[in-house]
Amino acid sequence: MTPTEIGIWVSMGMLVLVVLGMRVAFAAALAGLVGLVWIFWAKKGYDPDQFWWALTVATKTAGQVPHSKIASQALSLIPTFILIGYLAYHAGFTRALFDAAKKWVGWVPGGMAVATVFATAGFSAVSGASVATSAVFARIAIPEMQANGYDKRFAAGVVAAAGTLASLIPPSAILVIYAIIVEQDVGRLLLAGFIPGVFSALVYGAIIIGLALAIPSFGPPLRGFTWGERFRALPGALPILFVVFIIIVFIYNPFGGDAWGTPTEGGAIGAFVVFLMAVWRGMRWRAFRDALLETARLSVMIFSIIWGVLIYVRFLGFADLPGVFSDWITSLEMSPMLILVMILLAYAVLGMFMDAIGMLLLTLPVVYPAVMALNGGESVSAEMSTFGMSGPMCAIWFGILVVKMAEFCLITPPIGLNCFVVAGVRPDLSVQDVFKGVTPFFIADALTIALLVAFPAIVLWLPSLA
Amino acid sequence: MAMKAAVREDGSLLSRLDRALYRIEGAFGLISGLAVFGLMLLAVYSVGGRNFFNAPVRGYVDWIEVTMPLIAFMGISFAQRDGGHIRMDILVGRLRGRALWAAEFVSTLAILVLIVLLIWGSWAHFGRSFDWNAPLYSRDSTIDIKLPIWPAKLLAPVAFSVMALRLLLQLWGYGRAFLTGDAVAVPLIEDVATIAAREAEAVSGAEDKS
Amino acid sequence: TEWNVSLWGKRRAFTEHVEKLAELVSAKTNGEFTLNISYGGLSKNTENLDGISIGAFEMAQFCAGYHADKNPSITVLELPFLGVSTLEQEWDVSMAVYNHPATQADLGRWNATLLMPSPLPQYNIAGVGTPPETLADFEGLTVRATGGIGEALTMIGAVPTSVTSEEARQALDSGIVKSIAFAPHAHMSFGITEAAKWWSTNLNPGTVNCPIVVNTDALNALSDAERDALMSSIGEARQHYIDFYENETMAKWWPLLEEKGIQQISYNEERLAEFREKAAGPVAQKWIEENTARGLPAQELYDLVVSTLSGS
Ligand code: NA
Ligand code: NA
């Protein structure tokens, strides 16, 4: 059997393990380890005397991955961005934002759900991790929506989908990961995420209003707030604006001269300010410890998936599956735009089975160069290019598209991390309930992605000013 | 919070071992959380030093690299105890009684096999970076200020070993549940109403504080 | 026989000798012996020696400065101001150190045999802000530099700051560092030339040493014909590499500096000699002391470098 065939068999085996209910991180790692043994043993012609050698080499190769892949500065952003989310929750930001949004937009059909989306979008400007964002809003928004007669599956779907905004609206851990994999400017990428993030929020809002009009039981409007109540709700939401202001000033320094630090550091500064605010608002050791433990729990879960998937990716490297894929893509005789759309569709399918970070780590080393080549190379000018944009701009555009696809995969079954988290926080909801509730947002996301593909200016306008 | 299943406790030896191990795991989890907080403070300190005193932290990246394993591994068993590592429960969620315990037993056993192999592999990885006869016992160092890497590499087999103990306890728990029908010390796929009540309590508690 | 080769990044001047080797070996053995090159698929670059030691792949590239404690012997080649001026010299002095028994024993712990270097020209510094017209201007300048080069720059008051090569551009854009020390091909491939305002043409503080190693057992397991095909191709690979670096990379470098309007700063010989005196001696002395303590014949290795360079 050729390495490529071994690669395909083992990949199918991994999917079977996942569907049978083995915890994802370990299913991927086990598949990768078994695959490595297979590859090394095959190299020795399946000689029984060489099995022990193959097992040793495979185990030692896999045993390197957890430490060597995790010890990276880039990944240190993830726990920081998770911590900021939990601290902001304990500082009362989420509650205040949700209250204000509820009072201002509650009156439209599906108003509570629209308020949830807007409050989440606001919170996304300090939170860098989709999963953590969904987790904190699941606690606040779902019970209130249910109390107001919302369909509970729909309520859960709104929170799961809205959480994905955190990865487009800066700061965003996943945009940073993309920037690092493809070696592009992190600051411009983060900037580029802003308008598509707001755009996605508007599309979500429109879908909700449409659904609420069509099916009244989904979300009755919430009336009766006076203008006085509305304005009184605003000051509570001000601290978050202050934190956003600090982060923006820090990273983009509008006063001229150099920026004061990297986005990584901007995130840490933001987290520190939120921490001070939380302490000021009365956070004590117990709440702080809870925030730390929650951060630890979510971080270790994400990191386990990262190293588990990377053991599997290491095996794929030995099987040379990415190389085979790359050759195949570049040999296709199709229009480049069609190929791009096919790539995005492939991400949608892959995203059903993988988590977002794992998917990017797995595919970008292969797919990104192919896309850049389609556009005419890394340093092509806008005039000479296929998609009408320069090389660096194409990197940004494709990055936002891919991250949007990765966010999409956070809500698609069977492995949609946001949905798992929402179901985990609200145990009266099964994972299947949340997947059902989130279905309408597939349409919203498909629409958003189509518009981003058709009108790249939505993505590129802001970074082109920088 | 996120993905925290209930674990039944009673006076049995298994349950007492479970709680004893859980205390260690909780401490590891807290260390991991404090490491995240420490990284944040380090960044603030580094920014401050650079912008106000023209004295950047030397080896900032090196310190991050040796801290990351604390965050990435230390809580692995803490999460496993409460069923915190995600999975698809579309199929297992439908099983009841012996079928469920048998399925959980088999998948836990598979994870144990994996983890035991990874203890071996990550221990070997540590071993290549450690040398009794070298200065600071170091055979592998970071790029900038040459910190020894072996303590960070050692964290992987240590955390995986605690994980292996946890998996053994869970195998015992699932095995016992299979034989007696009484599930202790394993994360439960619970009766929905019970969890909802418990979780509502926890959330309203957290709400009051914020 | 099929060998897996673990490199990283993408195909570039820095990997041309391995690509050439693969081509020659396959041609000489009529495809009986092939080198299967992987860019990053088989290992992280800082773990390539571990992979060789395990036997996961048979050939790999790494840089000595990534992990000085793994390969103390060859870090002698990364000391500042050794006085290397051509790639040929860099190749020869590297091979002299690689062939020393102490070095062979040092790498032997990894079951690794050193095959050839990947010689790089002297590092120089590109940066933003006020150009350091004189060496005195380096006082307080933040610079991304590692290893011996970083230590040397400390001697003239610069402040080395650690960021990875991947984050170098970002660090420059965001003001974390004002300047970056790289070889020309890296200044280009990491986009430093897009942002830099000035370049130090003749500071020449030193370079990094990045050998190609093979797994010793795998090397011994080759048939005579295969080993012969491999070893006899090194000379041609060397020539190809050096020609490529000089004719392709450096040919692009100078026009690029002009095109981007990057100011070229030269220092007068007198001040450079002062810098060398200040930095070269103490850093080398420290290296010798530390590595003697490790049980390496450090003085002997250092003398070997000096004598090889003065002889060539
Ligand atoms: Na965000
Ligand atoms: Na999914």
pLDDT digit string, tens, across residues C228-282:
999 999 999 999 999 999 998 888 999 999 999 999 999 988 888 888 888 888 8
Q: What's the rounded mean pLDDT across residues C167-190?
A: 85
Is residue A329 in a domain?
A: no
pLDDT at C3: 96
Q: Are residues A26 and A151 in the same domain?
A: no
Residue A338 has pLDDT above 80, yes or no: yes
Cβ atoms within 10 Å of C311's Cβ, excluding its own? 9
Let me know whether A184 and A87 are in one domain. Answer: yes
Q: Is residue A162 part of a domain?
A: yes
Q: Given pLDDT bands bounded at 50, 70 and 90, which one contains residue B206?
A: very low
* A343 domain residue, yes or no: no
Asked if residue A146 is part of any domain, the answer here is yes
Which pLDDT belongs to residue B3?
A: 52
Q: Which helix (H) or strand (E) holds C116?
A: strand C112-116
Same domain, A53 and A107: no
Residue A435: what pLDDT?
87
C-alpha A203 to ligand 2 mean position (Å)? 21
Say whether both A176 and A104 belong to one domain.
yes
Decide if A405 is inside a domain: no
Q: Averaging pLDDT over each range in A79-93, A115-129, C82-96, which range is the top one?
A: C82-96
CA distances for C222 relative to C34, C215, C216, angstroms? 12, 11, 10
Distance from the Cα of residue C287 to its chain's centroid? 18
pTM value surpassing 0.90: no
Domain end marker among A273, A298, A323: A298
> Does residue A403 fall inside a structural domain?
no
Alpha-carbon dihedral of residues C231, C236, C238, C239, nearest 10 degrees?
A: 170
Q: What pLDDT is stored for residue C167 in this prediction?
A: 72
> With 90 as the cut, is the pLDDT of residue B32 above it?
yes
Confidence of residue B190 (pLDDT cuts 50, 70, 90): low
CA of A120 to the centre of ligand 1 (A): 10
Contact B128 C53 (CB under 8 A): yes
- Single out the residue of C197, C76, C182 nearest to residue C123, CA to CA: C182
Q: How many C-beta neighbours within 10 Å does residue B192 have? A: 12
- CA C123, chain centre distance (Å): 9
Residue C257: predicted pLDDT: 93
The rounded distance, in Å, linking the Cα atoms of B153 and B162 is: 15
Range of the domain at A16: 1-63
Model pLDDT, residue B204: 40
Neighbours of A254 (CB within 10 A): 6
Report CA(A163)–ligand 1 centroid distance (Å): 9
pLDDT tens string C76-112: 999 988 988 899 999 999 999 999 999 999 999 999 9
Q: Which ligand is nearest to the CA of A167?
A: 1
Task: Copy the structure tokens of residue A115.
Answer: 């308020």
Residue A122: nearest ligand to its CA?
A: 1
Q: Mark out the alpha helices in A253-388 (DSSP H runs).
A: 263-280, 285-319, 321-331, 336-353, 356-375
pLDDT confidence tier of residue B1, bands split at 50, 70 and 90: very low
Strands C159-160 and C142-144: parallel
By C-alpha distance, the chain C residue nearest B49 is C176
> Average pLDDT of A426-436?
81
Averaged pLDDT, A82-94: 80
The pLDDT assigned to A58 comes to 97
Contact A300 B124 (CB under 8 A): no
Residues B37, B43, B46: CA angle, nearest 5 degrees: 140
What pLDDT sits at residue A14? 85
Tokens of C249: 């990379």
Please list every residue in chain A whose beta carbon sits closer than 8 Å to the beta carbon of residue B34.
Answer: 292
> Strand C212-215 vs strand C59-61: parallel, antiparallel, or unpaired?
antiparallel
Element (H, E) at C38: strand C34-39
Q: How many domains does chain A have?
A: 2
Mean pLDDT of chain C: 91
Q: Please name the residue of chain A whose CA is at the shortest distance from the CA of residue B86.
A: A23
Residues A141 and A264 in one domain: yes
Strand partners, A448: none
Flag whether pLDDT at A413 surpasses 90.
no
The alpha-carbon gap from C251 to the nearest alpha carbon of chain B, in Å, equals: 31
Instruction: Show which of A298, A322, A348 is a domain's final residue.
Output: A298
Q: Which region, left, alpha or beta, applies to residue A117 given φ > 0 means left and ψ of -120 to 50 means alpha?
A: alpha
Given pLDDT bands bounded at 50, 70 and 90, which one contains residue C6?
very high
CA–CA distance, C36 with C6 (Å, rounded to integer): 9
Question: Do A133 and A255 have their domain in common?
Answer: yes
Virtual torsion, Cα A101, A105, A110, A114, nearest 10 deg: -50
Candidate from C41, C44, C171 with C-beta closest to A69: C44
Of all residues in chain C, the one with the smallest CA distance to B59 is: C162
A107 and A27 in a common domain: no
Task: Test C174 with A259 for CB contact under 8 angstroms.
Answer: yes
| Interchain contact, A22 vs B120, CB within 8 Å | no
> Chain C residues with CB inside 8 Å of A64's CB?
43-44, 47, 50-51, 54
For position A69, what pLDDT does the model report?
84
Chain A nearest CA to B163, separation (Å): 12
* Shortest alpha-carbon distance between residue C290 and chain B (Å): 9
What pLDDT, on a 0 to 100 scale, did the predictor assign at position A50? 95
Q: What does the pLDDT read at residue A406?
A: 86
pLDDT at res. A254: 66
Centroid of ligand 1 to alpha carbon of A175 (angstroms)? 9
Please compute the mean of the pLDDT values over residues A440-455 and round it to a whole number: 90
The shortest C-alpha distance from C46 to chain B (Å) reads 9
Q: Across the A/C interface, how many CB contacts are shorter than 8 Å?
A: 73
Reduced to 3 states (helix: H, G, I; strand: E, B; else coil), residue C60 is strand
Cross-strand partners of C215 = C112
Do residues B170 and B159 touch, judged by C-beta distance below 8 A?
A: no
Total domains present in chain B: 1
Q: What is the pLDDT of residue A362?
A: 63
Lowest mean pLDDT among A254-263, B132-141, C274-283: A254-263
What lies within 8 Å, CB to CB, of B72 at 6+ separation is A66, A70, A75, A299, A300, A303, A304, A306, A307
Cα distance from A334 to chain C (closest Cα, Å)? 26
> Which of B196-210, C29-43, C228-242 has the largest mean confidence?
C228-242
Q: Does A180 touch chain C (CB under 8 A)?
A: yes
Closest CA to C207 of C63, C107, C99, C44: C63
**Chain B residues within 8 A of A88 when measuring between CB atoms:** none
Residues A46 and A102 in one domain: no
Sorting pLDDT into bands at 50, 70 and 90, what band is B191?
very low
Q: Which domain covers residue B37, as residue numbers? A: 5-209
The CA distance from A159 to A144, in Å, is 12
Q: How confident is the model at residue B59 (pLDDT cuts 50, 70, 90)?
A: confident
Chain C contact for A248 (CB, 8 A cutoff): no
Count Cβ atoms below 10 Å from residue A95 Cβ, excluding itself: 18
Indicate whether A193 and A98 sit together in one domain: yes
Which-ligand-closest: CA of A354?
A: 2
Do residues A51 and A127 both lie within one domain? no
Same domain for A268 and A164: yes
In this prediction, residue B199 has a pLDDT band, given cuts at 50, 70 and 90, of very low
Average pLDDT, chain A: 84
What is the model's pLDDT at position B168?
Answer: 97
If asked whether residues A114 and A252 sit together in one domain, one would say yes
C217 touches chain A (CB under 8 A): no
pLDDT of residue C231: 96
How confident is the model at residue B46, as a pLDDT?
A: 84
Residues of C in contact with B142 (CB under 8 A): 67
Residue pair C96/C149 in contact (Cβ under 8 Å)? The answer is no
Separation of alpha carbons C93 and C108, rounded Å: 20
CB contact at 8 A, A313 and A362: yes
